[in-house]
Structure 1
Amino acid sequence: MKHKGNKVMRICIYILLIGVLYLSAAEQQSVVPDIFITRWQITVPIPVGPSDTSMEAQEKAFQENVVPADQIIASLALGKLTVNGIDYPWRTFVSPSNAIDLAALYNRIDYHYVYAVADISADAGQKAVLGIGSDDAVQMWLNGVLVHENFRGRPVTIDEDLMGVSLLPGKNTLIVKIHNLQGDWGFAVRPLSQASLAEKLVDSAGDGNMQTVTLLLENGVNPNSIIGPGLTAAHIATIKGNRSLIDLLVKFGADTLIKMPKVEELIDFTVSRAKKEDYPGASVLVAQDGKIVYQQCIGMANVDKSVPIIPETTFRIGSITKQFTAASILKLQEQGKLSVQDKLSQYFSDFPRGDDVTLHHLLTHTSGIASYTDAPGFIDQVTGDISTEEMITWIKSLGYTFSPGESWAYCNSGYYLLGVIVEQVSGRSFDQFLKETFFQSLGMTSSGVYRRGLNLAHEAVGYQYQNDAVSLALDWNMDFAGGAGNLYANVGDLYRWNEAIFAGKILSPSSLTPAFTPVVLNSGEKAAAMGGSYGYGWSLVDVRGLSLIEHGGGLHGFSTFITRVPDKKMTVVVLSNAAANIPHLSPGNLAHQIIEMTFYGVMKEQNIATVEQPVDFAAFDDYVGQYDYGQAMMTIRRSGNHLLAQLGTQPEFEIFPSGANKFFWKMAAAQIEFVRDENGRVTHGLHTQNGATLKVPRIPEEKEIQLSAQVLEQYVGDYELAPGFILSITREGTQLYSQATGQSRVEIYPKSETEFFLRVVVASLTFVKDENGAVKAVVLDQGSVHREAPKIK
Structure 2
Amino acid sequence: MFENLQERFDEAARRHGVPGAALAVWADGELTEVATGVLNRNTGVETTADSVFQVGSTTKVWTAALVMQLAEEGLVELDRPVREYLPEFAVADGSEKVITVRHLLTHTGGFDGDLFEDTGRGDDCLDRYVGYLHDAGHVHAPGALFSYCNAGYCVLGALVERMRGTTWHRAMREHLLGPLGATHWALLPEEAVLFRAAAGHVGPEGTVHRTWAMPRSNDPAGASMCLAPRELVRFGRMFIAGGLAEDGTRLLSQETVAAMRTAQVAVPGISEMLGDRWGLGFELFDWGGEVFGHDGGTLGQSTFWRVVPGAGFTIAMSANGAGFMGLLTDVALPMVAEATGLGVPDFPVPAETPEVVELAPYTGRYEGPMLAYEVTETDGALEIVTVPGALMVEVGVPGTTTRFVHHRDHSFVAAEPENGRYETLTFVMEDGRAAYLHNGRALRRA
* TM-score past 0.5 threshold: yes
Asked whether 1:415 is paired with 2:157, we answer no
Is the Cα–Cα contact under 8 Å of residues 286 and 573 in structure 1 kept in the other structure? yes
Amino acid paired to 1:273: A
Is the Cα–Cα contact under 8 Å of residues 267 and 594 in structure 1 kept in the other structure? no
Shift of the 570–683 alpha-carbon distance from structure 1 to 2, 3 Å rule, reads: same
Question: Aligned residue for 1:166?
Answer: none
Residue range with higher mean Cα deviation, 646-655 or 320-329: 646-655
Q: Distance in 2 between matches of 1:382 and 1:594?
A: 41
Is the Cα–Cα contact under 8 Å of residues 676 and 683 in structure 1 kept in the other structure? yes
Is the Cα–Cα contact under 8 Å of residues 280 and 302 in structure 1 kept in the other structure? yes
- Equivalent residue runs for 1:439-478 within 5 Å: 439-450=177-188, 452-454=189-191, 456-478=193-215
Question: Aligned residue for 1:291?
Answer: 30
Question: Aligned residue for 2:299?
Answer: 556
Amino acid paired to 1:364: T
C-alpha deviation, 1:628, in angstroms: 5.7
| 1:125-146 C-alpha deviation (Å, 9 max, x unpaired) | xxxxxxxxxxxxxxxxxxxxxx
Question: Aligned residue for 2:285?
Answer: 541
| 1:759-786 C-alpha deviation (Å, 9 max, x unpaired) | xxx55xxxxxxxxxxxxxxxxxxxxxxx
Shift of the 686–567 alpha-carbon distance from structure 1 to 2, 3 Å rule, reads: farther
Aligned length: 411
- Equivalent residue runs for 1:502-541 within 5 Å: 502-504=240-242, 505=244, 506-520=251-265, 526-528=266-268, 530-541=274-285
| 1:299-342 C-alpha deviation (Å, 9 max, x unpaired) | 21233332211122112222111111111111121122222123
Q: Distance in 2 between matches of 1:390 and 1:594?
A: 44
Q: Distance in 1 between matches of 2:208 and 2:4?
A: 31
- Equivalent residue runs for 1:339-354 within 5 Å: 339-352=77-90, 353=94, 354=96
Shift of the 650–561 alpha-carbon distance from structure 1 to 2, 3 Å rule, reads: farther
Amino acid paired to 1:502: I
Question: Aligned residue for 1:161?
Answer: none
Amino acid paired to 1:264: E
Q: Aligned match of 1:428 in 166, 182, 205?
A: 166
- Equivalent residue runs for 1:152-301 within 5 Å: 264-265=3-4, 268-270=7-9, 272-275=11-14, 280-292=19-31, 294-301=32-39
Is the Cα–Cα contact under 8 Å of residues 337 and 343 in structure 2 kept in the other structure? no
Asked whether 1:359 is paired with 2:98, we answer no
Shift of the 458–662 alpha-carbon distance from structure 1 to 2, 3 Å rule, reads: closer
Shift of the 515–268 alpha-carbon distance from structure 1 to 2, 3 Å rule, reads: farther
- The TM-score with structure 1 as length reference comes to 0.45
C-alpha deviation, 1:539, in angstroms: 0.8
Shift of the 429–610 alpha-carbon distance from structure 1 to 2, 3 Å rule, reads: closer
Computed over aligned residues only, the root mean square deviation of the Cα atoms, in angstroms, reads: 4.1
Shift of the 605–535 alpha-carbon distance from structure 1 to 2, 3 Å rule, reads: closer
C-alpha deviation, 1:383, in angstroms: 8.9
Question: Aligned residue for 2:234?
Answer: 496
The one of the two structures with greater contact order (alpha-carbon pairs below 8 A, sep at least 6) is 2
| 1:384-412 C-alpha deviation (Å, 9 max, x unpaired) | 88833322211222243222112221111
Is the Cα–Cα contact under 8 Å of residues 673 and 685 in structure 1 kept in the other structure? no
- The TM-score with structure 2 as length reference comes to 0.77
C-alpha deviation, 1:499, in angstroms: 0.4
**Largest Rg, 1 or 2:** 1
Q: Distance in 2 between matches of 1:355 and 1:550?
A: 31
Q: Distance in 1 between matches of 2:212 and 2:438?
A: 36
| 1:577-604 C-alpha deviation (Å, 9 max, x unpaired) | 33xx236656588533432455568567
Asked whether 1:403 is paired with 2:153, we answer no
Q: Aligned match of 1:655 in 395, 405, 411?
A: 405
Secondary structure of 1:370's counterpart equals coil
Secondary structure of 2:142's counterpart equals coil
Q: Distance in 2 between matches of 1:585 and 1:435?
A: 34
Is the Cα–Cα contact under 8 Å of residues 278 and 300 in structure 1 kept in the other structure? no
C-alpha deviation, 1:351, in angstroms: 2.8
Q: Which consecutive residues of structure 2, in runs of 5 or more, have no partner in the other structure?
A: 245-250, 387-398
Shift of the 636–535 alpha-carbon distance from structure 1 to 2, 3 Å rule, reads: farther
Q: Distance in 1 between matches of 2:316 and 2:332?
A: 7
Is the Cα–Cα contact under 8 Å of residues 532 and 541 in structure 1 kept in the other structure? yes
Identity of aligned residues (%): 21
Q: Aligned match of 1:595 in 336, 354, 365?
A: 336
Residue range with higher mean Cα deviation, 418-427 or 629-638: 629-638
Amino acid paired to 2:283: S
| 1:101-157 C-alpha deviation (Å, 9 max, x unpaired) | xxxxxxxxxxxxxxxxxxxxxxxxxxxxxxxxxxxxxxxxxxxxxxxxxxxxxxxxx
Q: Distance in 2 between matches of 1:398 and 1:620?
A: 35
Amino acid paired to 1:515: M
Shift of the 612–490 alpha-carbon distance from structure 1 to 2, 3 Å rule, reads: closer
Q: Distance in 2 between matches of 1:481 and 1:688?
A: 23
- Structure with bigger strand share is 1
Shift of the 632–564 alpha-carbon distance from structure 1 to 2, 3 Å rule, reads: farther
Shift of the 396–662 alpha-carbon distance from structure 1 to 2, 3 Å rule, reads: closer
C-alpha deviation, 1:685, in angstroms: 9.9
Amino acid paired to 2:27: Q
Q: Distance in 2 between matches of 1:554 and 1:593?
A: 21
Shift of the 318–688 alpha-carbon distance from structure 1 to 2, 3 Å rule, reads: closer
- Equivalent residue runs for 1:306-385 within 5 Å: 306-352=44-90, 353=94, 354-373=96-115, 378=117
| 1:510-553 C-alpha deviation (Å, 9 max, x unpaired) | 21233122224xxxxx443834111122111224x344211111
Shift of the 551–593 alpha-carbon distance from structure 1 to 2, 3 Å rule, reads: same
Q: Distance in 1 between matches of 2:333 and 2:435?
A: 27
C-alpha deviation, 1:484, in angstroms: 1.0
